[in-house]
Structure 1
Amino acid sequence: MQEIIEELERRREAAKLGGGQERIDAQHARGKLTARERVDVLLDQSSFEEWDIFVEHRSTDFDMADKVVPGDGVVTGYGTINGRTVFVFSQDFTVLGGSLSEAHAGKICKIMDHAMNVGAPVIGLNDSGGARIQEGVDSLAGYAEVFQRNVLASGVIPQISMIMGPCAGGAVYSPAMTDFIFMVKDTSYMYVTGARERWSKLLRTRRLLMKSLAGQTRTPPDRGLQTVPSIMMSRRYCH
């Protein structure tokens, strides 16, 4: 029995690394926190209860069978903010760019369903390139399920979105249907589609283009780990 427990803990610690230490370091180099670090900042200390840490995608096309990461690119669960229960999902950009798969969507829908059942706010920390194209219509169907929850939850529970990086497609459509959206200066962008690659070819000043088309309008001023004040600001809406 002890060996089984130790193996479970080993797998749990491995899952917490997401896409691996190299990608975590790259995330930090961009001045961004990881998905789990954001949850730690957002919630009361030691209050987070994670769900479905070992969930994996089931796609085998396009060599996806060799790209399986426990948790499938999103951290989900519940915790408290100033003692009040909230449900949260935090997309992990270190895992396939935070792209949404069928399993990834299922994890998000699960916490949204529970949030509606108990009347608690749901907070999404979005850092995703949108649908996982390797899964085709399965990933799009996953977004349809998320959108349906956005509609059902509207006017029933608070829905709060934080855009923590360059987000496109469904990673923008869903936040657009929520009650509040927070963005981070020089880090957050919202695209209807993959504009970062397509539109940047039209102008040499890509950074200026990104700001004017999809950037924030009012956010904390500091660089570095500037996501912290954005996350802390959202806590005010969960009193």
Structure 2
Amino acid sequence: MGNSKMNARERIDYLFDDHSFVEVGGYVSARNTDYNLGAKKVEGDGVITGYGVINDRMVYVYSQDASALGGSVGEMHAKKIASLYDLAMKTGAPVIGMLDCAGLRLQEATDALHAFGTIFNKQAQASGMIPQISAVFGMCGGGSAVMSAMSDFTLMEKENGSLFINSPNALAGNEESRQNTAGAQFQSEQAGNVDFVCETEEALLDQLRILVDVLPSDYEAEDVYFDNDDDLNRVIPELNDAAYDAAYILKSISDNNMYIETKAAYAKEMVTAFIRLNGETVGAVANQPVDGESVLTRNGLEKAERFIKFCDAFSIPLLTVTDVTGLRANAHEERKQALALAKFTTTLAQVSVPRINLIAGEAYGTAAEVMNSKAIGADFVLAWPQASVGMMDAEQAVRIMYAEEINTDKNKTALIAEKTAEYAEGQSSALAAAKRGYIDDIIEPDATRKRLIAAYEMLYGKKVTPVTKKHTAV
């Protein structure tokens, strides 16, 4: 089909296992209002709702039909979606929304607006109970963009997808020809609202099937375990000499190199991805150097925080891979950086799922401390032999601590080298941190997979008694 647009039913047929889809509410149509739509009524009221099977897993779907009243959201259209959510929450199965909508149906005015609000309410109720996935095939503006944002994951077709709260030509100071703020590139790279951008509708639907396969059906489900034919004790010698690369590490250790990265185009300094270890889905959060700099940023922290919340809500164990030297320092970051750090730290400190930290590079200062350190509550911390852990780079620390001696010494270079080596060994090496109990074990990189699998097996029965309160206020 190439880049051609499918209709609402064709998308459903492509997505679900053969002959498994069952439509619900097919006879529903708009009721008459002051602006009578009698002549334009269509069965289904512009959205197909129902359930079916994807890779033998029950899934609910609503698919907006742009050919029926522009796919606009009217009262009965919205009620069908809200009813679908009720069914999904009762039975514990994901909801996929296929968005291709002209917006609210003006002829139905407040009836449509109120019904639209009920969708928001159902999404809020379902959050953390069942996975919610949005797929943007066409227009998705205004309130529909909020529906997408309230989902756990959003996929977008590159050519025809259009995602926005305010249309690009309605933004003060913006020219659509200069910046298409509704396009896939902006929404994935700058806004961070899209997890996966797909070249075609077929590619998007294929990615949906892959994503559904790795996620649990609901917050109580135990269907994130899969048969595994990859050797649990597989040694990975390539990791011993490879330059640090988060994606490479995570792919290498995962069962059969299974790796699904979310929001890959956004805040690339923080990687969020799903992998599998011994058949179990694991959520990974990893630092990634960009342009030679490995730092925490506001966008990266917000990206990771939401991913961690999802994993904790659905009992998906967490793995952090740490290689971070500090915080990005500029005026833009300074405006919101403390709040982003506070939210990230609060979220990570409160998760109840098993969580392991692998220190694979440098781990300095506050940035390292919030990246799932022992102090923040990591259940188990492993480090590679070459890891450095401390307040700051050893040479920087030496230049501050021995400033007077360095200034008066005739051979400054030799003195700095000597003191740096002493400080690195005694204060900022992996061994020094392990001696103080901040690292549980130092492992060879090639043994990372089998050691992580063993650690998660040990943590399988982890139980946490939550502090009695309503919720955090951060």
Using the size of structure 1 for normalisation, the TM-score is: 0.79
State how 1:98-137 maps to structure 2 within 5 Å.
98-137=71-110
Q: Deviations over 1:191-227 (max 9, x none)?
A: 114x156459963727846438965545233xxxx11
CA drift at 1:29: 11
CA drift at 1:48: 0.3
Mapped to 2, the partners of 1:206 and 1:63 lie a distance apart of 41
Aligned residues: 207
Mapped to 1, the partners of 2:99 and 2:149 lie a distance apart of 12
Q: Is the 8 A contact 1:188 1:215 kept in 2?
A: no
2:202 alignment counterpart: 228
Whichever residue aligns with residue 33 of structure 1, its letter is: M
Q: Is the 8 A contact 1:189 1:214 kept in 2?
A: no
Mapped to 1, the partners of 2:186 and 2:69 lie a distance apart of 22
Secondary structure at the residue paired with 1:157?
A: coil
Mapped to 2, the partners of 1:232 and 1:83 lie a distance apart of 15
CA drift at 1:144: 1.0
1:83 alignment counterpart: 56
Taking a change above 3 Å as real, the CA distance of residues 229 and 64 of structure 1, as seen in their structure-2 partners, is same
Taking a change above 3 Å as real, the CA distance of residues 201 and 51 of structure 1, as seen in their structure-2 partners, is farther
1:237 corresponds, among 208, 211, 216, to 211
Mapped to 2, the partners of 1:235 and 1:39 lie a distance apart of 12
Whichever residue aligns with residue 198 of structure 2, its letter is: P
Q: Is the 8 A contact 2:164 2:182 kept in 1?
A: no
State how 1:194-205 maps to structure 2 within 5 Å.
195=167, 198=170, 203=175, 205=177
CA drift at 1:62: 3.0
Q: Deviations over 1:35-85 (max 9, x none)?
A: 001101111110000011111101333342211011100000000000110
Q: Is the 8 A contact 1:50 1:77 kept in 2?
A: yes
Whichever residue aligns with residue 236 of structure 1, its letter is: I
Q: Is the 8 A contact 2:85 2:122 kept in 1?
A: yes
Q: Is the 8 A contact 1:126 1:163 kept in 2?
A: yes
1:3 alignment counterpart: none
Q: Is the 8 A contact 2:62 2:98 kept in 1?
A: yes
Gap runs ≥5 in structure 2:
190-195, 214-474
Mapped to 2, the partners of 1:70 and 1:197 lie a distance apart of 34
Whichever residue aligns with residue 183 of structure 2, its letter is: K
Whichever residue aligns with residue 148 of structure 2, its letter is: P
Which aligned runs of 4 or more in structure 1 are off by greater than 4 angstroms? 199-202, 206-210, 212-218
| Superposed CA RMSD | 2.5
Mapped to 2, the partners of 1:119 and 1:181 lie a distance apart of 20
1:15 alignment counterpart: none
Q: Which structure dedicates a bigger proportion of its chain to helix?
A: 1
Taking a change above 3 Å as real, the CA distance of residues 132 and 118 of structure 1, as seen in their structure-2 partners, is same
1:14 alignment counterpart: none
Whichever residue aligns with residue 175 of structure 2, its letter is: L
Secondary structure at the residue paired with 1:75?
A: strand
Mapped to 2, the partners of 1:133 and 1:63 lie a distance apart of 12
Taking a change above 3 Å as real, the CA distance of residues 142 and 232 of structure 1, as seen in their structure-2 partners, is same
Q: Is the 8 A contact 2:155 2:198 kept in 1?
A: no
Percent identity, please: 38
CA drift at 1:234: 1.1
CA drift at 1:186: 2.0
State whether structure 2 residue 20 is matched by structure 1 residue 64. no
Q: Is the 8 A contact 2:162 2:184 kept in 1?
A: no
2:146 alignment counterpart: 173
Whichever residue aligns with residue 67 of structure 1, its letter is: K
CA drift at 1:169: 1.4
Q: Is the 8 A contact 2:169 2:176 kept in 1?
A: no
Mapped to 1, the partners of 2:184 and 2:21 lie a distance apart of 37
State whether structure 2 residue 29 is matched by structure 1 residue 51. no
Q: Is the 8 A contact 1:129 1:171 kept in 2?
A: no
2:310 alignment counterpart: none
Structure with greater contact order relative to length (CA < 8 Å, sep ≥ 6): 1
Secondary structure at the residue paired with 2:20?
A: coil
Mapped to 1, the partners of 2:45 and 2:19 lie a distance apart of 23
Q: Deviations over 1:166-197 (max 9, x none)?
A: 2111211111111000001121121114x156
Mapped to 1, the partners of 2:173 and 2:106 lie a distance apart of 22
Whichever residue aligns with residue 132 of structure 1, its letter is: R
1:153 alignment counterpart: 126
Whichever residue aligns with residue 189 of structure 1, its letter is: S
Q: Deviations over 1:72-99 (max 9, x none)?
A: 0000000000011000000001111111
